[in-house]
Amino acid sequence: MNRAQLKANIFSKKSVLCVGLDTDLTKIPAHLLKEEDPVFAFNKAIIDATKDQAVSYKINTAFYEAQGLKGWISMEKTLNYIPKDIFTIADAKRGDIGNTSEQYARTFFHTYPFDSVTVAPYMGSDSVQPFLKFEDKWAIVLGLTSNAGSADFQLQPSGDELMYQKVLKTVASWGTPENIMFVIGATRKEQLQEVRALLPHHFFLVPGVGTQGGDVDTVCRNTMNEDGGVLINVSRGIIYVANDESFADKAHDAAVQYQKEMSVFF
């Protein structure tokens, strides 16, 4: 999906909501466990319940890979089920020497045709470049993450700036705002405005709203740009609001509430 298509969807839904499909067999309602593919049954119900509010779905591959072959099959079925006008993210956090990154890019752009994949930039330009060679596909590079451990390296000085600032500026120079996005954690409230000033045109994937303590209002106020410019991910705060037969209705209600908070920024 290209930027114009993503923008059009954001403006028509007045939403920057990305629903995170972090589907954990130990957390899904018991009545689904008798299904042939409980993970897909759960995801299908969540997608049906949230597709009018969501402009993106993020499949966190860890939850699927942990199930072995069955998990990869559930992931593929889920990807195929997502409506084609909704932006898809393989949250796989890949990145390796060039020829290996090429295989990761083939995996998540070709074999499983996602629109984007999350990428760790620690190995540098040749580890990220292979993800930038596919038309209308995106690398979503870790910039300033939402976890406490982001202070260990990302917030440390590097010359006269901080490490994450160097990462954002350097990685941005390897591609364009049409093929690179950055992960910026919603929990890093003090840095949001400064990050947007540093990169006025890039899209940010912003996780950390809900369970991790970030909020929609702060993120939208400080980071939205002329194209929307953000995808705010909520995983547990939507998919696990209820753990009984009402789970999809409750997920719908949560998605509607998040979309309502976002709509005032359009």
Ligand X SMILES: O=C(O)c1cc(=O)[nH]c(=O)n1[C@@H]1O[C@H](COP(=O)(O)O)[C@@H](O)[C@H]1O
For ligand X, the closer of residues 1 and 117 by Cβ is 117
Q: How far is the CB of 233 from ligand X (least distance, A)?
A: 5
Q: How far is the CB of 266 from ligand X (least distance, A)?
A: 23
Only one residue has tokens 């899904």, namely 28
For ligand X, the closer of residues 36 and 71 by Cβ is 71
Residues 207 and 4: their CA atoms lie apart, in Å, by 23
**If residue 229 lies in a helix (H) or strand (E), which one and from where to where?**
none
Q: How far is the CB of 263 from ligand X (least distance, A)?
A: 20
Pick the catalytic residue: 93, 166, 189, 250?
A: 93
> Which of 207, 236, 246, 204 is CA-nearest to residue 222?
204
Active site residue 93: yes
For ligand X, the closer of residues 191 and 226 by Cβ is 191
Each as own residue / partner, the long-range contacts of residues 239-246 (CB below 8 Å, 24 or more positions apart, any chain) are 239/19, 239/20, 239/21, 239/22, 239/23, 239/42, 239/46, 240/27, 242/29, 243/27, 243/28, 243/29, 244/29, 244/31, 245/29, 245/31
For ligand X, the closer of residues 14 and 93 by Cβ is 93
For ligand X, the closer of residues 45 and 139 by Cβ is 139
CB-based burial, 29-39: b 16+ in 10 Å, e otherwise: beebeeeeebb
Q: How far is the CB of 143 from ligand X (least distance, A)?
A: 9
Q: Site residues (CB under 6 A) for ligand X?
A: 20, 22, 60, 91, 118, 145-147, 183, 185, 207-208, 210-212, 233-237
Residues 257 and 254: their CA atoms lie apart, in Å, by 5
Q: How far is the CB of 183 from ligand X (least distance, A)?
A: 5
Residues 229 and 124: their CA atoms lie apart, in Å, by 25
Q: How far is the CB of 160 from ligand X (least distance, A)?
A: 25
Each as own residue / partner, the long-range contacts of residues 112-115 (CB below 8 Å, 24 or more positions apart, any chain) are 112/75, 112/76, 112/79, 113/79, 114/59, 114/79, 114/88, 114/89, 114/90, 115/1, 115/87, 115/88, 115/89
For ligand X, the closer of residues 8 and 212 by Cβ is 212
Q: Which residues pair with 19 in a beta bridge?
A: 57, 234
Decide: helix, strand or coil at residue 135.
coil
* Catalytic center residues: 93
